A and B are shown apart, each in its own frame.
Chain A
Amino acid sequence: MLNFVVKRLILAALVTSAVLLISFSLLYLAGDPAASIAGESASAADIQKIRELYGFDRPMLVQFFDWLWHALQGDFGQSYFFKMPVADLIADRMTVTLTLGVSGMLFALVTAVPLGVIAALRPNSMIDRFALFLSVMGQALPSFWFGLMMVVLFAVRLNWLPASGSETWMHFVMPTIVLGYYAMPAIMRLTRAGMLEVLGADYIRTARAKGAGPARVVVKHALRNAVVPVVSLAAVQMGFMLGGSIVVETVFALHGAGFLAWESISRNDLPTVQALILIFSCFYIAFTFLSDLLNAWIDPRIRIG
């Protein structure tokens, strides 16, 4: 087991450095960082001056290892755009993204798993149709449109919730629903499919035969087995929600890390983008790793295997 974990960690580190190197070169090819820093009103000579000042005239690999060396010591450098330490900037923006990601995931799980279970218990019933309808809508509605419609209804028409900003918990209600709703359908369909399969299994009949109550059968015997793939899916979704909530962050003016990453790419703010890529890839790896651990805890077969 320990061997397995160490191997996986080494692999993860390799994957991370490959991602970093590739993203660094892509950003480098995408445009001259000196021109971005100088802004739209700079002349060629100004840009050349900035290129020398910031060391962009050095070979790309030298710049990359220079960055990596500092990053390994926890120094992500200064944001070219904000002229403040990247670490402070990301710490600030990450708070919003984590709050949104965790609450969105909770919303998705809390609605999707029970709905999936109920849908599986009564296949082809009204409730199953309703669940199907919800999931099709969730897949089909673009987040920006759904977000705006929520704003029109709850902020403009009813004036219950604030339309933008991240000062209070009220500001997170609509973004959470929009982001969570996007992740919900897959989780629900997978729960339903898993439950349907498990409920037909022999051991469920055995459990019922030995007199276990319906709640015990569903939760302890069926759900526990059906939920294994759901956990893996949720882990991947979580990684996606942290890095990919750009649309939701934009619509609700949340200024999270996803939005920061998106904006920093167009600003050629290399230190910020690199740090964010490092953090996001670490998140992905950590979540995948955690989901494996969690599955091993839920399902003893994985633990032994």
Chain B
Amino acid sequence: MKYPVQSVKRLLVLGGLAVAAVPVGGFGHAWAGKADDTLKLAFTKELQSIDAYYNSAREGTIMDQQIWDGLVYLNPLKGEFEGNLATSWAWLDDTTLEFKLRKGVKFHNGEAFDADDVVYTLDFVTNPDNKITVPQYVSWIKSTQKIDQYTVRILLNKPYPAALNLLATMIPMYPNEYYAKVGPSGMALHPVGTGPYAVTELDPGKHFVLKKYAGYHDGPKGQPSIGTIDVRTIPDVNTQIAEMFSGNLNFMWGVPSDQAEKLAAMKRFTVVNAPTMRVGYLVMDAAGRTGKDNPFTKLEVRQAVAHAIDREAIVKSLVKGSSKTINSACYPSQFGCEQDVTKYPYDPAKAKELLAKAGYPNGFTTDFYAYRDRPYAEAMLAYLNAVGIKANLKMLQFSALTDLRMKGEVPFSFQTWGSSSIDDVTAITSLFFTKGLEDYAQDDQVNAALGEGDTSVQPEKRKAAYSKALKRIADQAFWAPLFSYNANYVFTPDVAYQPTADELLRFYKMSWK
């Protein structure tokens, strides 16, 4: 009997040789991009609906900035508001904002922009029946009135100083006739806005093609430069890097610091590190919500925790980049974020002393919750352990931890907050210290001071109120503020772009070198 073993063997050997003999092309091929005026960019996470009011993720906010416009624009370099779809605005009183709208603006589908669009959009999103995903961005709006074709008034429930911030980035204006016809599900598949880019191709969650809008108005965003932006979701960062090398990708963001360092060392791509508004901090149950006898109700224990952790070392060896340690319960650039507060430098001896004073000479054991950045949390465990605090790390999904936190079952946790890129302490301190479900301080003095700041539109008065609140938070060590986060952007050398601290990619500011 003869079986064709010999020929199989020969085939295998030949096959192996064939693969080995193929000349290795190397890295020499041309970049996709500049030649056909198409910038290819990757998202790591799948985008929810592209309709700005039905997604809560950063990717969504980024897309919204390209496709739509707000009434005003927040210049990220100057930190000042500029007119966008409105050319001017004025506070008529503490709860009435009047806008004069820009004339001659057209949506991507040709529909003209006027007061009816503003009224329709704001009425739609504030109507609870429409179940928008981000009610927190519009809950301050009581009603909207059309005064004439190019004048609108927004009435507020109560004074709300962050109104312009939200109108700039989180509240895009929709075309009333089109939106009335297609609704959120239609907008999710065929978005129409006034923004610098129009969507020409859309595969939900996977692929988006944006083309420069030829009729874009001369607003503060400026005219877009690159013709086509092609956005694909590639969940694995390694695959994104492979695509950068094979010339199928021009732009990555949110690159982990170790990968960014390696890529920077190779000198093939531009690697830029920029700070972000996200901060990390420890929350301690000072109010005794998890039990009256819990150690964190004692001031000395909270101060000991703050002294126990070497934040400088964590930033230097783990968080890296342009991250900095923070001392106040907010991001330093935010309006009202008082920097002159009690500081707790790394001092394990003092931490032990404070623990002894609080009645825990041998330390204690506690649960320690976290939902992201496990390595950072583990470093903190080691520091806490060194002063005698035995913390059991419990890593949970974000939603599960939120659930527990609101039920008042979390004695001690590592949290982070990005303030939705809103450059004002109302987006962070006022959310967590005003005696709500997430407030583990439940402190009357802090609450009163924040209330004062939140209901005034006079900057000096607000600053003074927030200063009082933040000083008390630091004195009482309700939080142990840790550090700010940073983001790495990697792009091909033919791309020119300057990342900003609000972590919002601006496609319309990108250009070819």
Q: What are the residues of chain B within 8 A of A266 when measuring CB–CB?
A: 397
- B128 interface residue per 8 A CB criterion: yes
Looking at B45-53, B215-223, B342-350, B387-395, the stretch in contact with chain A turns out to be B45-53
**Considering the complex of A and B, which 8 residue pairs feature the smallest CB-CB distances, nearest first?**
A39-B56, A44-B437, A31-B400, A31-B399, A32-B403, A35-B399, A35-B402, A36-B399
- B233 interface residue per 8 A CB criterion: yes
Q: In residues 113-159 of chain A, which contact B (Cβ within 8 Å)?
A: 118, 121-122, 125-127, 130, 144, 148, 151-152, 155-159
B260 to chain A, nearest CB (A): 18
Q: Is the CB of B239 within 8 A of A253?
A: yes
Which of A33, A44, A53, A156 meets B406, CB within 8 Å?
A: A44
Q: In residues 165-180 of chain A, which contact B (Cβ within 8 Å)?
A: 165
Q: In residues 1-55 of chain B, which contact A (Cβ within 8 Å)?
A: 1-3, 5, 8-9, 12, 22, 24-27, 29, 46, 48-49, 51, 54-55
A177 to chain B, nearest CB (A): 13
Q: Is the CB of A159 within 8 A of B25?
A: yes
Q: What are the residues of chain A within 8 A of B205 when measuring CB–CB?
A: 82, 255
Please list the residues of chain A having a beta carbon within 8 angstroms of any beta carbon in chain B.
Answer: 30-33, 35-47, 49-50, 53-54, 81-84, 89, 92, 118, 121-122, 125-127, 130, 144, 148, 151-152, 155-159, 162-165, 214, 218, 250-253, 255, 259, 263, 266, 268
- B502 interface residue per 8 A CB criterion: no
A84 to chain B, nearest CB (A): 6
Which of A40, A92, A159 meets B418, CB within 8 Å?
A: A40
Q: Can you name 13 A-B residue pairings with CB atoms under 8 Å?
A: A39-B55, A43-B438, A49-B128, A82-B49, A83-B54, A122-B3, A125-B5, A127-B8, A163-B242, A164-B234, A165-B232, A253-B234, A255-B205
- B362 interface residue per 8 A CB criterion: no
Which of B57, B234, B246, B431 meets A156, CB within 8 Å?
A: B246
Residue of A nearest to B371 (CB): A40
Describe B's contact surface by its main secondary structure: loop
Q: Is the CB of A164 within 8 A of B243?
A: yes
Residue of B nearest to A127 (CB): B5
Interface size on B, residues (CB 8 A): 63
A79 to B49, CA, bound (A): 10
A268 to chain B, nearest CB (A): 5
Looking at B131-139, B151-159, B466-474, the stretch in contact with chain A turns out to be B131-139
Which of B8, B51, B54, B239 meets A163, CB within 8 Å?
A: B239
Q: Is the CB of B236 within 8 A of A31?
A: no
Q: Is the CB of A35 within 8 A of B233?
A: no
Q: Is the CB of B2 within 8 A of A43?
A: no
Decide yes or no: A31 and B403 within 8 Å by CB, A41-B420, A84-B188, A89-B204 being known contacts.
yes
Q: Is the CB of A49 within 8 A of B133?
A: no
Q: Is the CB of A126 within 8 A of B233?
A: no
Q: What are the residues of chain A within 8 A of B235 when measuring CB–CB?
A: 250, 253, 259
B43 to chain A, nearest CB (A): 10
Residue of B nearest to A152 (CB): B242
A49 to B189, CA, bound (A): 26
Decide yes or no: A49 and B135 within 8 Å by CB, A31-B403, A251-B236 being known contacts.
yes
Decide yes or no: A53 and B128 within 8 Å by CB, A35-B402, A44-B437, A157-B24 being known contacts.
yes
A263 to B128, CA, bound (A): 28
Decide yes or no: A45 and B398 within 8 Å by CB, A84-B204, A251-B236 being known contacts.
no
A50 to B136, CA, bound (A): 11
- B375 interface residue per 8 A CB criterion: no
A15 to B66, CA, bound (A): 49
Q: Is the CB of B29 within 8 A of A159?
A: yes
- B445 interface residue per 8 A CB criterion: no
Given contacts A35-B402, A47-B402, A155-B243, 13 further A-B contacts (CB under 8 A): A31-B399, A32-B402, A37-B56, A39-B55, A41-B419, A46-B134, A92-B204, A118-B5, A148-B238, A156-B245, A163-B239, A163-B246, A164-B242
Which of B131, B139, B238, B400 meets A30, CB within 8 Å?
A: B400
Q: Is the CB of B232 within 8 A of A121?
A: no
A84 to B418, CA, bound (A): 28
- B248 interface residue per 8 A CB criterion: yes
- B206 interface residue per 8 A CB criterion: yes
Q: Is the CB of A214 within 8 A of B398?
A: no
B406 to chain A, nearest CB (A): 5
A3 to B17, CA, bound (A): 57
Q: What are the residues of chain B within 8 A of A45 when measuring CB–CB?
A: 436-437
Decide yes or no: A38 and B25 within 8 Å by CB, A46-B136, A251-B236 being known contacts.
no
Residue of A nearest to B188 (CB): A83
Which of B3, B133, B233 meets A121, CB within 8 Å?
A: B3
Q: What are the residues of chain B within 8 A of A163 when measuring CB–CB?
A: 239, 242-243, 246, 248
Q: In residues 120-144 of chain B, which contact A (Cβ within 8 Å)?
A: 128, 131, 133-136, 139
